Structure 1
Amino acid sequence: MNLSDQLNNTALQHGEKTAYYFLDQSASYAELNGAVNKMANSLEAIGVKKGDHVGLLLGNSPHFIVSLYAALRIGATAVPINPIYTPDEIAYILRDGDVKAVVALDLLLPLIEKAHKALPGVGHYIVCETSQDTPERLEALNDEIKQKVTAFTHALASQSADYKGPQLDKDDTAVVLYTSGTTGKPKGAMLTHENIYSNAQDTADYLSIRREDRVIAALPMFHVFALTVVLNAPLMNGGTMIIIPRFSPKDVFEAAKKYEATVFAGVPTMYNFLLQYPDASRDDFKSVRLCISGGASLPVALLHSFEEKFNVQISEGYGLSEASPVTCFNPLDRERKAGSIGTSITNVENKIVNELGEELGAGEVGELIVRGPNVMKGYYKMPEETEAAIKDGWLYTGDLAKQDEEGYFFIVDRKKDMVIVGGYNVYPREVEEVLYNHEDIVEAAVVGVPDPDYGEAVQCFVVSKNPSLTKEEVVDYCSQHLAKYKLPTVVEFIEELPKNTTGKILRRALRDQIKPA
């Protein structure tokens, strides 16, 4: 079984069921499946074959779902790309990913006009119309570009809703997901049909996502967290997606009430924005049975404040692109442990090892490694990096973690983010947890900075709602909860922490702001 077949089966069995709501539109599973078949026919008509790569430069919309599943259905490999990346970042992925055709927002037409000669490998662009003047803009393209461009509506209207695709093998590459590139050039993680199908199924089972659920899709669909948890997992069982084009607390709360949402998934910064939204009340999330957090560590103080205000449990989990992505979640049928990423989901193994690859005991900090049907086949065109990441079937995550006696895992920090002060390990998350407990601090991030005496020192960046809060007060507060070597030596107040489009705090950008001593 694969995701394409699963969608087709759901359309046959529950064709009248609503697959998604988007703005003022909705579509049944039969309508969605028909659109996928039309796009599959259209992709083949422009020369896309099994094994070819199709770039998706799209935001949260039905265009993304239809294009993704159409690519999967014909046996092509989907390459989702953040549409607000810079032209250079987009061009790098299109070239490195050997992308043959692109489905893109009309907002990117200027980029297509400028870059089409520099990207000879891209033979065709399907452009999604989002504004009334798009047809005129397409018509105004010069003949050379026009030959390569098709309007999304025409791509669907010109094709049949019937389609019989090629046989798909479970080991065929279904998706290439480029890592966010916070360190060096992005790497393309190759995920097979088995990888993405098994992780969607196992996640849906572990979190009890069922046909009756209505899942808010505010996370960006081009990111692996959204791809599995709010898109593929609901579609596995005939659930309904509530698609929000762009995250905003107001839109999330309005959609939750209007469509009686039952599940919300977000990253910690989203939960912070929702919590801080002045007009929010418990009534806004009264239909929500479960909130899911991932993408970064969720501060415990934020978790408790959110749950208390909205009377809904947050299940924090863990994943990474190379694992499709989910490996752990806090279970729903037994104790949820604040600060933990939970236990291994069905069919996935996690363990903690030392630098020799030897498994460590409870409470010992080491590297988290993962094994299961969700682990990627490797990095695209990077055999050495693949060999370094996957050893004896285990994916080495680069995250430092520990496990308790009951099998719950706790992320300590990124291996690369650890600060070493005079030979002592300081985990940024430990300091950040303390900072988040301060009543005047909204957001905080900790990085290591060079220190002539101790090798490294702790610097924290703080977003405060109290303009009179001082560095001395912050350090004094931390001293009540942390050993002296863990205390920040520098406190910098800023208006907002830099984040990528998935809400992950960019520590590298913070380090770049640090002035040399």
Structure 2
Amino acid sequence: MNLVQRVRETASAQPEKTAYHFAGKDTSYAEFDQSVARFAAALEGLGVGRGDNVAMLLGNTPHFLITLYATMRLGATAVPVNPIYSPDEISYILQDSDAKAVVALEQLLPLVEAASVRLPAIESYVICETTGETAAKVTELSEVARSKTRLFSHLITTSTAAAMPVDPDENETAVILYTSGTTGRPKGAMLTHKNLYSNAADVGEYLGFSSEDRVVATLPVFHVFALTVVVNAPLVKGATILLVPRFSPGDVFQTIREQKATIFAGVPTMYNFMYQYPEASREDFETIRLAISGGSSLPVALLENFEEKFQVKISEGYGLSEASPVTTFNPLDRERVPGSIGTSILNVENKIVDELGEEVPVGQVGELIVRGDNVMKGYYKMPEETAAALRNGWLYTGDLARQDEDGYFYIVDRKKDLIIVGGYNVYPREVEEVLFQHRDLVEAAVLGVPDPDFGEEVLAYVVKKEGSAVTEHDLLDFCAKRLAKYKVPKHIEFLDELPKNTTGKILRRSLRDQVKS
């Protein structure tokens, strides 16, 4: 079984069931499957076949869903790319991934113009219209770019559902997901049909997804967390996806109310913005039976405040691109443990090891490693990096964690983010948790900076609530009462906002760059 086959089954068994809702319109599973078949035929007509790579520079619209499943239907490989990356970042991924075709938003036409010269190996560009001026803009491209460019709407309306679905081997690459690049050039994690289907099915089963669920998709769907939790898992279960083009608390609350959503998935930043939204009330979440958090650690203070305000339990989990991505979630049939990423999901093993790869005792901090059908086959064209990440059947995550006697895991921090002050380990998350307890702060991020006497010192960046008069002295005193002396920040910097990527994850690298400058 693979994702495409599963959608075809649902389209056959429940053709009228709504697959997704977007911009006031419901699309049934039968209509979705028909669009996938038509666009697959269109791609085939452009020369895309089994084993070719198709880059997708798309957001939370039906274009993404159709392109993803049409590409997999052909046995080709989808390469989702963040459409708001810089031209240099996009060009790097297009070149590194050996993309044969690109499906992109209308706003990226200037990139198409440049890439038609810089990246001659790309044979076709398909542009997804967002305004009524798209066709006219295409005519303004250079002759070379124009000759390679087609309109999505034209292709899908003029194609027939003639492309027969390929039955790929489960170990063939279905998607190449490029890591966020927070530590340098991004690496392309090759995820197979088996990886994606198993993780979607296991997440759906573990969290009790059903065909009656209506899942809010406001997380960027090109990101691995959203790809599995709010796209593939709902489609595997025959549920309905509620596509929200971009995140705003008001739009999310409106969608939940109007569409009677039952599942919401977000990252900590989203939960923070929704909690701070002045017009929000518990009625805005009354139809939600399951709230999910991932992407980065959810501060316990925020979790408890959100749950109290909206009367909903948040199940926090953990994952990474290389694991398709989910490896743990707080279970629904047992006590949820605040601050924990939960227990291993179905068919996935997690354990904590030392530098020699030996499992450490319960409660001791070590590196989290993962094994299961969800683990990638490797990094695209990077054998050395693959060998470093995949050892003896296990994926080494680079995350420091511990496990308690009940089997619950806790992320301590990224291995690379560990701060060592005079020989003592300081985990940024521990300091951030304390700062989040202060009633005048909205956000906090902690990192280590060089110190001539102690090797490193702790530096905190914070965003305070509007109108707050809290000072650095106030916050240092607050921390000193709750942390060991060596863990207390040496300095606290106030910012209007913290730098984040499109999924809301705080970019520590950008903060480090501020320190250097």
| TM-score, length of structure 1 as denominator length | 0.99
1:382 and 2:392 correspond: no
Aligned to 1:291: 291
Aligned to 1:479: 480
Aligned residue identity for 2:511: L
Aligned to 1:139: 139
Q: CA deviation at 1:346?
A: 0.1
Deviates more, 1:422-431 or 1:113-122: 113-122
For the residue of structure 1 that corresponds to 2:100, the secondary structure is strand
Aligned to 1:514: 515
Alpha-carbon separation, structure 2, partners of 1:478 and 1:265: 31
- Give CA-to-partner distance per residue, 1:318-341, whole Å, 9 cap, x none: 000000000000000001000000
Aligned to 1:171: 171
Alpha-carbon separation, structure 1, partners of 2:326 and 2:102: 27
Alpha-carbon separation, structure 1, partners of 2:6 and 2:321: 22
Q: CA deviation at 1:162?
A: 4.5
Aligned to 1:115: 115
Alpha-carbon separation, structure 2, partners of 1:170 and 1:93: 25
The answer on whether the counterparts of 1:34 and 1:162 sit within 8 Å (CA) in structure 2 is no
The answer on whether the counterparts of 2:44 and 2:163 sit within 8 Å (CA) in structure 1 is no
- Give CA-to-partner distance per residue, 1:101-143, whole Å, 9 cap, x none: 0100011011111221101111000100010111221233343
Aligned residue identity for 1:491: I
The answer on whether the counterparts of 1:299 and 1:433 sit within 8 Å (CA) in structure 2 is yes
The answer on whether the counterparts of 1:41 and 1:163 sit within 8 Å (CA) in structure 2 is yes
1:468 and 2:492 correspond: no
Aligned to 1:97: 97
Q: How does 1:337-486 map to 2 (within 5 A)?
A: 337-465=337-465, 466-486=467-487
Aligned residue identity for 2:96: D
1:53 and 2:66 correspond: no
Q: CA deviation at 1:23?
A: 1.2
Aligned length: 516
Q: CA deviation at 1:273?
A: 0.3
Aligned to 2:11: 11
The answer on whether the counterparts of 2:440 and 2:468 sit within 8 Å (CA) in structure 1 is no
Alpha-carbon separation, structure 2, partners of 1:111 and 1:373: 37
Aligned to 1:260: 260
Deviates more, 1:22-31 or 1:95-104: 22-31
For the residue of structure 2 that corresponds to 1:72, the secondary structure is helix
Distance 1:162 1:11, change over 3 A: farther
Q: CA deviation at 1:364?
A: 0.2
Which ranges in structure 1 are unaligned for 5 or more consecutive residues?
none
Aligned residue identity for 2:143: D
The answer on whether the counterparts of 2:299 and 2:433 sit within 8 Å (CA) in structure 1 is yes
Alpha-carbon separation, structure 2, partners of 1:25 and 1:131: 18
Alpha-carbon separation, structure 2, partners of 1:135 and 1:275: 42
Aligned to 2:70: 70
Percent of paired sites with the same residue: 63
- Give CA-to-partner distance per residue, 1:338-365, whole Å, 9 cap, x none: 0000000000000000000000111000
Q: CA deviation at 1:467?
A: 3.7
The answer on whether the counterparts of 1:178 and 1:186 sit within 8 Å (CA) in structure 2 is yes
Structure 1 runs (4+) deviating above 4 angstroms are none
Aligned to 1:493: 494
The answer on whether the counterparts of 2:58 and 2:83 sit within 8 Å (CA) in structure 1 is yes
Which ranges in structure 2 are unaligned for 5 or more consecutive residues?
none
Aligned to 2:274: 274
- Give CA-to-partner distance per residue, 1:435-494, whole Å, 9 cap, x none: 000010110000001111110000000101154211111011011110000000010011
Alpha-carbon separation, structure 1, partners of 2:446 and 2:486: 14
Aligned to 1:311: 311
Q: CA deviation at 1:24?
A: 1.7
- Give CA-to-partner distance per residue, 1:410-457, whole Å, 9 cap, x none: 000000001000000000000000000001011000000111111000
Alpha-carbon separation, structure 2, partners of 1:381 and 1:133: 39
Aligned residue identity for 1:231: V
Aligned to 1:242: 242
Alpha-carbon separation, structure 2, partners of 1:478 and 1:491: 11
Alpha-carbon separation, structure 2, partners of 1:507 and 1:455: 19
Alpha-carbon separation, structure 2, partners of 1:464 and 1:103: 41
For the residue of structure 1 that corresponds to 2:131, the secondary structure is coil
Alpha-carbon separation, structure 2, partners of 1:71 and 1:252: 29
Alpha-carbon separation, structure 2, partners of 1:377 and 1:324: 11
For the residue of structure 1 that corresponds to 2:490, the secondary structure is strand
The answer on whether the counterparts of 1:199 and 1:324 sit within 8 Å (CA) in structure 2 is yes
Aligned residue identity for 2:275: L
For the residue of structure 1 that corresponds to 2:459, the secondary structure is strand
- Give CA-to-partner distance per residue, 1:195-220, whole Å, 9 cap, x none: 00000000000001110000000000
The answer on whether the counterparts of 1:349 and 1:370 sit within 8 Å (CA) in structure 2 is yes
Aligned residue identity for 1:441: L
Deviates more, 1:13-22 or 1:460-469: 460-469
Deviates more, 1:17-26 or 1:482-491: 17-26
For the residue of structure 1 that corresponds to 2:60, the secondary structure is coil
Aligned to 1:503: 504
Aligned residue identity for 1:496: E
Deviates more, 1:472-481 or 1:395-404: 472-481
For the residue of structure 2 that corresponds to 1:164, the secondary structure is coil
- Give CA-to-partner distance per residue, 1:160-181, whole Å, 9 cap, x none: 1354222210000000000000
For the residue of structure 2 that corresponds to 1:271, the secondary structure is helix
Q: CA deviation at 1:511?
A: 1.0
Q: CA deviation at 1:83?
A: 0.3
The answer on whether the counterparts of 1:291 and 1:315 sit within 8 Å (CA) in structure 2 is yes
For the residue of structure 1 that corresponds to 2:462, the secondary structure is strand
Aligned residue identity for 2:473: E
Aligned to 2:214: 214
Alpha-carbon separation, structure 2, partners of 1:198 and 1:280: 37
| TM-score, length of structure 2 as denominator length | 0.99
Distance 1:497 1:178, change over 3 A: same
Alignment root-mean-square deviation, CA: 0.9
Aligned residue identity for 1:289: R
Alpha-carbon separation, structure 1, partners of 2:16 and 2:166: 27
Aligned residue identity for 1:145: A
Alpha-carbon separation, structure 1, partners of 2:161 and 2:34: 5
Q: CA deviation at 1:145?
A: 2.0
